[in-house]
Amino acid sequence: MTRRYLDDFAAGDRLAIPGEYEMTPQRVHDFATEYDPQPIHLDPTAATGEFFGRLVASGWHGLSATARLMVEGRPLGDTPLIGVSIDGLRFVAPVLPGDTLRVEAEVLDARPSTSKPDRGFMGIRVVTLNQHGEPVLTQDWTLLLPRRPAAP
């Protein structure tokens, strides 16, 4: 695997993110215990009386699973995924224990930095889908990428 640079991408490019993430009941429990300890994620009985009417995974768990799929997909090769900002993040539908998640990602733009010639910013739309093909999370990431070094 080699490094990829801002110059390697253009608006409209689809990034291949082949993996899947099993949102097992155990993982739902473990993540929520550590990072989102609410009855709607941890207590099946109490959850029936709340908004979703059943146990649902933490939205932060869905986001973290999305990060894992993106990292494992290595769309930038050996170049690290460094996030600058996220806009338009929508929790479109609840993620349920037992769901299987996958990710689709498309380049929105690739802009050289106006102040630092060695780097730039790439916008990507990241959509997380469940096993029914239904979007559960959508978000627009801005990543920091190096520009391709000039030939010596």
Site residues (vs its own copies, CB under 8 A): 34-40, 50-51, 58-60, 63-65, 67-68, 71-72, 80-91, 139, 144
Give the nearest distance from C-beta 81 to its own copies in angstroms.
Answer: 7
The letter for the amino acid at 109 is D
Q: Which tokens belong to 102?
A: 């996958």
Closest separation in Å from C-beta 110 to its own copies:
17
Smallest distance from its own copies to CB 38, Å: 5
Instruction: Compute the distance between CA of residue 147 and CA of residue 4 in angstroms, rounded to an integer.
Output: 9
Q: Which is nearer to its own copies, 10 or 82 (CB)?
A: 82
What's the CA gap between 29 and 130, in Å, rounded?
19
Nearer to its own copies, 39 or 97 (CB): 39
Q: Are 113 and 145 in contact (CB under 8 A)?
A: no
